[in-house]
Amino acid sequence: MGSLIGNLRGTTFVVIDFEALTPAGRPAEPTEVAALALVVRGGRLVEDGRFASLIRPPPDVPVTARDLAGGMTEAALRSAPPPAEVLAGLERRLTSPPYRLVAQHASTEAGLIARQAPHCPTLGAAPMLDTLRLAKRVLRGLSSYGLDALLRHYGMPPPRGRHRAMPDVEATAEVFRRLLADGARAGHWSTLLDLDVAAGLRPQPAATAADDLPVQGELFRPGH
């Protein structure tokens, strides 16, 4: 693990998660995003900042009770900033390249980011690592590779607020650390390129943004 950590120095890993509505016949609409930055410091992969925001869904997309998790309310969603504003706010915190995004079942996050790429070009251009793919490489024979199954495998209780973006990001970040360590010990990877080969996704082509509103920041705190 030590050689892997040394080889990851200089890269910022941004663990990211969206919650979203899935209206019939149209793309998913994000309702919340959270991101947690990880960097190598002192020989360990440590947190370097975080960001979280609710996201206003389009007015014609219904919000049902099953869409509201962990204290989220429809009133809070309807008064939240629109997606263009939120993603641009996250973009402004991305000041320490190069980046790798990290997500559980990362193709879902990649699609949501692609739709907002004009407002977050750095985020939209960053390659992704999928913890689900890492887990399939390291943890052979599990009946499921969903986040809950990976938490059970590692003896970690589901986070309070599961299915909210930040608790899920925190859980994914810890699973990512453990998968890196297990894979390094097993000889699956020792460099960033090895991780890209094992679990990398290239950025999706940018889609037309649904919103085009001014930029406003959120709470990505500096970690230095």
- Taking alpha carbons only, the member of 189, 137, 202, 161 closest to residue 72 is 161
- Taking alpha carbons only, the member of 101, 118, 119 closest to residue 110 is 101
User: Can you give the pTM of this predicted structure?
Assistant: 0.90
Can you tell me the distance from the alpha carbon of 102 to that of 128, in angstroms, rounded to the nearest whole number? 6
The per-residue b/e assignment along 67-89, b for 16 or more CB within 10 angstroms, e otherwise, is bbbbebeeeebeebbbbbbbbbb
Give one word for 92, left, alpha or beta, with left for phi > 0 and alpha for psi -120 to 50. alpha
Crossing angle (nearest 10°) for helices 165-185 and 131-138: 30
Provide the 3-class DSSP secondary structure of residue 149. helix
- Walking along the chain (224 residues) 10 residues at a time, the average pLDDT comes out as 92 97 93 98 96 97 90 95 97 96 96 94 96 97 97 96 96 98 97 97 69 36 39
Can you tell me the distance from the alpha carbon of 125 to that of 99, in angstroms, rounded to the nearest whole number? 9
Domain count for the chain: 1
Residue ranges of E strands in the chain: 12-21, 29-41, 44-54, 99-103, 128-130, 200-201
Please report whether residue 211 resides in a domain.
no
CATH number, domain containing residue 174: 3.30.420.10
**DSSP assignment letter at 63:** -
Please report whether residue 78 resides in a domain.
yes
- At 1 the pLDDT is 76
Please report whether residue 216 resides in a domain.
no
Please report whether residue 208 resides in a domain.
no
Please report whether residue 58 resides in a domain.
yes
Domain extent at residue 173: 2-201
Please report whether residue 223 resides in a domain.
no
Contacts (Cβ under 8 Å, ≥6 apart) of 45: 5, 8, 13, 38, 39, 177, 180
Strand order of the β-sheet with 12-21 is 44-54, 29-41, 12-21, 99-103, 128-130, 200-201
- Taking alpha carbons only, the member of 6, 2, 21, 66 closest to residue 210 is 21
Can you tell me the distance from the alpha carbon of 164 to that of 220, in angstroms, rounded to the nearest whole number? 17
Please report whether residue 88 resides in a domain.
yes
Please report whether residue 217 resides in a domain.
no
- Taking alpha carbons only, the member of 70, 75, 27 closest to residue 52 is 70
Copy the structure tokens of residue 139: 């943890």
